[in-house]
Amino acid sequence: MVKKLINGNYAASYASKLARAQVIAAYPITPQTNVVELIADFVASGEMKAKYICVESEHSAMAACIAASATGARTFTATSSQGLLLMHELLHWASGARLPIVMVNVNRAVGPPWSVWADQTDSISQRDTGWMQFYSESTQELLDTVIMLYKVAESPDILLPGFVTEDAFYLSHTYEPVDIPEQAMVDSFLPPFDPPFKLDVDRPHGLGSLSMPHQWYMEMRYNIAEAMDLSRRRILEVEREWRELTGRSYGGLLDEYGTDGADAIIACAGTAASTAREVVDDMRKVGKRVGLARIRCLRPFPTEELRALGRRVPVIGVMDRCYTFGDGGPLFTEIKSALYQLRDRPLVKNFVAGVGGRDITMKTIEKMFENLLRIGSSGLDREKEWVDLKRPEVV
């Protein structure tokens, strides 16, 4: 075991190396750039045996990954924000073709106005592309999840692509001591990619050709839906294996902290969760029963875990670092929809916070908890609240 002081971006580069990615196609974008810079160094020095393809856009990066993955190569790419949006069309293509490409996305706000800071609009906009989505809270979690994700994605009954996100700058550029696992250990955990079908000149066949309405399109979509449902169990199995090897795990699809006997909890994704943990500790010390549920996996969605939680906890505040215009925070609407089937539903309130990288401080979160504890007895005040918004002075 080697501990290195690295940032989230480098953790992503190391993860792709440890996973023995064979083809990397990427285009640089702030704040993702040093993910692919370090991989380029690894490849140039021969430390990583891979083909590094320089492309002219993120659309091409994903196209190259799709082509390489279709020939049976393990592929990796990384992007952020507008870059991910430019990939959008091909994200659908990758999942439709059942290619287990793995990517890292740095969660960055979408312009205009330009902002390179943390915001989850970019990845949440990819909800319906058929990609698995993981949100990391720490640099170590990012590295570990990339490796675990290859194993999940390449399972013969799953065969779906996936990405792991890290919040811009909070993880991408912040240095933490990270355990870089031994290559031999990762090799024992992650076998080489061996897809059940691949483009092969000796056994020619077509990939992604036409399907008429009376033929198999609908059934193929159904199979993707089934694979995504199956992936829930697979994610938990793979995480258990990883824990046996490394002693580390991250709570499966929904990472709970202090939810036992809680009067109110906050649900969120990404690095704001680690701030929330501190607040939970402080408030618990003074007898306030609050907790945290971190959405670690947005696709597949932790529906059952949330329902179990909703049966125990009377008030849930959902903190979204982005917004779906014309509706609400996306985690808020997803969580509400998961809880709807419960007979006794908890109160659910939406806090929109940290949009465009605005700091989510301990004070901010403490105020949310105080509000949740209050509405637990007095009833919901407002369904959605933009926190720390500069508002006109009230006289």
Residue placing its CB nearer to another protein in the complex, 73 or 99: 99
Q: Which residue number, 220 or 389, has a Cβ lying nearer to another protein?
A: 220
Nearer to another protein by Cβ, of 96 and 376: the residue is: 96
What is the distance of C-alpha 110 from the center of its chain?
A: 17
Q: What is the Cα 191 distance to its own chain's centre?
A: 23
- Residue from the set 28, 72, 96, 376 that interacts with another protein by CB under 8 A: 96
- CB of 161: closest distance to another protein in angstroms? 12
- Least distance (Å) between residue 93 CB and another protein: 10
Contacts with another protein, 114-153, as mask; x by CB under 8 A? ----------------------------------------
Residue whose CB is less far from another protein, 44 or 207: 207
Query: Least Å distance between CB 189 and another protein?
Result: 23
How many residues contact another protein, by CB under 8 A?
Answer: 20
Q: How far is CA 17 from CA 40, 74, 115, 168, 326, in A?
A: 11, 11, 30, 22, 42
Phi, psi of 347 (to 5 degrees): -70, 140
Query: C-beta of 220: minimal distance to another protein in Å?
Result: 6
Which three-class secondary structure state does DSSP give residue 150?
Answer: helix
Residue 145: in which H helix or E strand, if any?
Answer: helix 139-153
Q: Report d(CA 222, CA 228) in Å as an integer.
A: 10
- Token look-up 């925070």 returns 329
Per DSSP, the residues of 70-114 read HTT--EEEEEEHHHHHHHHHHHHHHHHTT---EEEEEE-PPSSSP
Interacting residues with another protein between 350 and 379 (CB under 8 A): none
Which residues within the stretch 175-234 sit at the binding site for another protein (CB under 8 A)? 196-197, 204-209, 211, 216, 219-220, 222-223
**Residue from the set 156, 213, 247, 261 that interacts with another protein by CB under 8 A:** 156
Contact window for another protein (CB under 8 A) among 92-100, 228-236, 347-355, 374-382: 92-100
Nearer of residues 200 and 281 to another protein, judged by Cβ: 200
**Cβ density class 325-338: b for 16+ within 10 Å, e for less:** eeebbbbbbbbbeb
Alpha carbon distance 314, 318 (integer Å)? 13
Residue selected from 48, 159, 273, 375 as contacting another protein according to rule CB under 8 A: 159
Q: Which residues, at least 6 apart from 268, have a Cβ–Cβ distance to it below 8 Å?
A: 276, 292, 294, 295, 318, 319, 320, 321, 331
Instruction: Kindly report the length of the chain.
Output: 395
Kindly tell me which of 132 and 283 has the beta carbon lying closer to another protein: 132
**Residue among 202 and 219 whose Cβ is closer to another protein:** 219
Closest CB 252 distance from another protein, rounded Å = 25
The dihedrals phi and psi of 130, each to the nearest 5 degrees, come to 85, 15
The contact mask relative to another protein for 287-306 (x = CB under 8 A, - = no) is --------------------
When the beta carbons of 10 and 193 are compared against another protein, the nearer one is 193
- Would you say 197 or 340 has its CB closer to another protein? 197
DSSP states of 276-308 = HHHHHHHHHHTT--EEEEEE-EEES--HHHHHH
Residue whose structure tokens are 């020939």: 71
Contact residue for another protein among 98, 151, 277, 349 (CB under 8 A): 98
d(CA 242, CA 189): 8
Residues 32-91 close enough to bind another protein by CB under 8 A: none
Q: Do the strands 254-257 and 162-167 form a parallel or antiparallel pair, or are they unpaired?
A: unpaired
Under the rule (CB under 8 A), what is the footprint of another protein?
Answer: 96-99, 156, 159, 196-197, 204-209, 211, 216, 219-220, 222-223
